[in-house]
Structure 1
C-alpha cells in the first residue's frame, strides 16, 4: 500500500443538491430543492446524470427526487460520514488545513505541520482562508455494486450535524448493525434568521419508506445473519476502511478538485446556509470598515 495515499471507498457516482445553470454566458452551480444523482464525468454542460437518477424519478412518479433508498457500507458511523474543519486552496482545490477542533494538519513552507485547531471561529488563519465544516457521506444505492458507493459532499452544518446524529442513533438502536439497516436519505427544508427567512435545504437519514424502526431493525438482523452465513466479514471490511483512511494525510486527491471547488466556492450561494453566513459576515465586515473610516475621518477633520 502506497504511504501517504488515503484509500477511500470506491466511488461510482455523486449525490448533490443542485444543478448547473447558465448565467451571463457561464454555467454556474446553483442549489436546488431536490437531489441529483450523477456520474463522475463532468462536461461543459455539467455533471452527466447517472442512470439511477431517472430510474428513481420514475419510481417516484416522475416528480422531484427528494428521497433516495440507501444502505451504508460500514457499521462504524464515523467511517460512513467523515467530518472535519477544512480549508482548501481556491485555485487548485487541494487541502491546505484540516482539523477536528483540537488539532489540525496544515500545509506550510516546510511541509505538513501538526498544529492546534481552535475551530474556524477562533482561528485567524481559518477565517482569512475560508475554513468550513466539511462532510463526506458514502452510501450504496441499488444492488448492482454492493461495495461501490455514491458520495455526498456538504459544507452545511445542518446536514453534517443531522447525519452524524442519525448514523450514531441507528447504530445504537440496531445493536451495531448499521451496514444492514434499510435506510434512505431525505431532503428537508427550514428557514432561519441567517437565511433571511428563505428556505435552506439539508440532508437527513431515516428508515426506508414503508417501514417502522422496529421493522427496519428486524430486516437488518435478517440480512446480517444471511451475510454471516455466506462468509461476509463486516468487521474486517470496517477494519480495512479504517486502515485505508488512516494511510493518507488528507482524504482528498487531485481528482476531487472539481467537486471540492464546486462545494466550497460556488459562484452563487443565494439558497445555501453557507451563502447566508457569508452574507452576514460580509455585512458585519462592511459595518466595521465604515465605522473605522468614520473614526479616521473625524480624527483628521
Structure 2
C-alpha cells in the first residue's frame, strides 16, 4: 500500500477553511498550514487569526505565517515538511517558482469560477455583477501566471436569481471542498488529465473596491440589481439622497420608467426609483449609524417622498 499523501495547505479566509476541514476529514496527512499573518479586525481592531489558522489550531496542525515566500528562510518550514502536494485556496500571496516546484506533485489551486472566465481576485462578485447564469469550481495545476494553469477538474453550478456574493460564496466553498478531495484521491495515480485553458473566453475579475459602491441610476435596472447582489456583503451598493449615503442591500426590477434616480412611488413596503431602463423597487436599506432593515421600517426613521431624486453620479456608469 502506498504511503498516505502528505498535503500542505495554503489559504486564509472562510472559503479556504471549508476546504481545509474537508481535506482533514477525508483523512489526509496535513503536516503544515500556511496562512496570512494575523490582521486587525472588529471594532477594537484586535489582531485576529484567519479562519484557516483557527481551523488548523483547533485540529492540532502546525501553522506558518510568512509575509512572503521569496526567500529560502521564508520557505524553510514548507520545505522541511516535504509535502507531496500543496493545496492553495484564496491564500493571498503569489507563489514563486521555487514553491511551485517544491512538492513532488506540484501545487493545485481551488478557484471559484469556470476558468478561463473570471481569473483573478474576485470571481464570485464579478460573475454575479455580469449577470452570469452559472459559475463553478476549477481545480487547477498552478503555474507562474494569474490563474493560467492547466485545469484538472471543473464543476458547474447555476447562479440563482436571488444569489448574493454571500450566498454564492457559501455554495462554492462547499463545492470547492468536495472537488479538492475528489482531485486529491485521483492525483497520485495520474488519473486527472491536465487540460490547457482555451485562449477564448478569458475574463479578469479585478479586486472589489469601495469606490464601486455608488449606484449610477442611469444604467439599466437589471445591471444595477446585479451589482447590488454582487456587492452584498461588501462593499454594499449605495445611493445618495438629501446628502445622505444610503446602503442598498437588495432590490427588485419593476416595469416603471422615469428620470433616472427619481423616486417614482413610496408606500409602507416599497420605494421605487427610476433607472436608465425600467426601475428598481428598493427592498432593504440602511442609513448611517443604523442597521439594515426592510423599507417599511427604514421609512419610519427616514421618510422618502415621491418626486425626490437620488444623486445620479456613480462609478458604475459606462
Q: For the superposition of Structure 1 and Structure 2, which TM-score range results when normalised by the shorter chain?
A: under 0.3
TM-score, normalization: structure 2?
0.25
Relative to total residues, which structure has the larger strand share, 1 or 2? 1
Bigger relative contact order, structure 1 or 2 (CA pairs below 8 A, ≥6 apart)? 1
Relative to total residues, which structure has the larger helix share, 1 or 2? 1
